Structures are given as C-alpha cells and as structure tokens.
Amino acid sequence: MAFNPDLPTIAVLGGTGKEGKGLAYRWARAGYRVIIGSRQVEKAQAAVDELRSKLAGSSAAIEGITNPEAAAAAQILVLTVPYAAHRATLESVKDQAQGKLLVDVTVPLAPPKVTKVQMPPAGSAAQEARQILGENVEVVDAFQNISYEHLLNDESVECDVLVTGSSKAARQAALELVAAAGLTGWDAGPIENSVVIEGLTSILIHLNKQYGVESAGIKITGIPR
C-alpha cells in the first residue's frame, strides 16, 4: 500500500531488533509513516536500509533517527527494547512522549532464566512505563506473544494479540495498529492485566524449547470473529 499521510506517524523506539523491524515493516507496508529510533543513528539507518530493500517498489515512508528525535516526530510510540534497556529508553524520551500513546512491547525477561516468569515490582513492564512517563501518557501493552519470525514475511500469523491499557480509547487505538499489521487483536482490559500477557511470554518460550518449535502462540476461542 502507498504511504497515507492521513495516518498517524509511528516511532518504533529501539526498532533495530527483529521484533521492532518486523512491526515497522508491517506498518510501513500498510501505509503508515514509520520512524525507526535507536541510541545510535547509524544502527537506525541500517535497519531502514534493510526494510527499504524489502519494500522495494512501494512508496513506503520510513526513516531512521535517534530515539528522542523519533519520539518527538511521532504521534504513536512503540517500545521494542530488551527489558534491560526499558527504563533508560523511557527516561530518554519522557519529555517527547507527553500527551501521546505508548505501545509497550517489552517483556521483563531475566536471562538466562527466560522460561521463568519474573515480574518487576510495578507489576509489569507496561505498569512500570506508566510510572516513569506519568499520567499524561496513555500506555498499552501488546505484541509480546508474537514471534518475530513471522512479522518480516508476508505470511499470515496464526497468533492473536491481547491488548491491555490505561484506557479503552488507548486500547482501541492499539487494536487499529494490530489490524494494520495483519493480525487479530482483542481488548484484554485494564493495564493491570498486562502482568498476565507479559508473563505468558515466558511460558511460550518454554513451549518452544520443550517441543522444538519457534513460534508457539495463543488464539482466543469462543468469540465470533
């Protein structure tokens, strides 16, 4: 799809990793202007070059700059960093995030025991983000249970996305991003419920290891699609 200037701009902070690039690819393909953010602009630009090669022939709008610059230029911020960089990245964009929506994709994994659920004192990474950024930033939790192996390909993904967040309007905005990425999303309630979604990631990692697969996921049943 061609770039659509009527859609909000999305900044994928820490978007040089596999999950960040996969989501960025999906949204750029759907017509969003996407900005890859990184601590190092060279890494951001390298990620953009990789994505542009996959988007060759389209009029996708994608660029790479530093995290604070990306946060300042976008209406929606998507955080895709490892948990070890979670607090520092949020603090680096706190001023630029005010009045905006943050979609937190972070999972509080503590290597090497990544198959064991280990939640932070705040309850979840998303709740921690809300504490750091303040009440003027809407925070939603989403995409933790999607394996990045699928995102950079044009294949369908047989895994649902549970979305929790600080308000119903914020969750609805995130669900629109889920749909734009070609995925099925569900409103999973208030941000306090993010503890379940983030913790479920460790269980899925365990299932991958236990059964020799790479993309264990979840699907919601019993609700008409």
Residue 97 token pair: 């995030």
Which pLDDT tens digit goes with each residue over 167-181? 999 999 999 999 999
Q: What per-residue confidence (pLDDT) applies to 59?
A: 85
Q: At what angle do helices 125-133 and 194-211 cross, to 10 degrees?
A: 140
Q: What's the whole-model pTM score?
A: 0.96
Domain ranges of the chain: 10-211
Residues 84, 38: Cα–Cα separation, whole Å: 15
Residues 82, 193: Cα–Cα separation, whole Å: 20
Residue 56 predicted with pLDDT over 90: no
Q: What per-residue confidence (pLDDT) applies to 171?
A: 98
Average pLDDT over residues 152-156: 81
Q: What per-residue confidence (pLDDT) applies to 156?
A: 82
Residue 192 is which amino acid?
E
Number of C-alpha atoms within 13 angstroms, CB side, residue 198? 29
Q: What per-residue confidence (pLDDT) applies to 148?
A: 79
Q: What per-residue confidence (pLDDT) applies to 137?
A: 98
Q: What percent of the chain is modeled with pLDDT above 70?
A: 100
Residue with tokens 């020799």: 212
Q: To the nearest whole number, what is the mean pLDDT of the chain? A: 95
Which pLDDT tens digit goes with each residue over 4-49? 999 999 999 999 999 999 999 999 999 999 999 999 999 999 999 9
Average pLDDT over residues 194-216: 95
Q: What per-residue confidence (pLDDT) applies to 128?
A: 98
| Beta strands per DSSP E along 2-52 | 10-13, 33-38
Q: Nearest to residue 80, comparing CAs of 24, 30, 131, 120?
A: 24
The SS3 assignment for 4 reads coil
CATH class as words, domain 10-211:
alpha beta
Residue 152 token pair: 């950079």
Which pLDDT tens digit goes with each residue over 66-99? 999 999 999 999 999 999 999 999 999 999 999 9
Q: What per-residue confidence (pLDDT) applies to 8?
A: 97
Q: What per-residue confidence (pLDDT) applies to 1?
A: 67
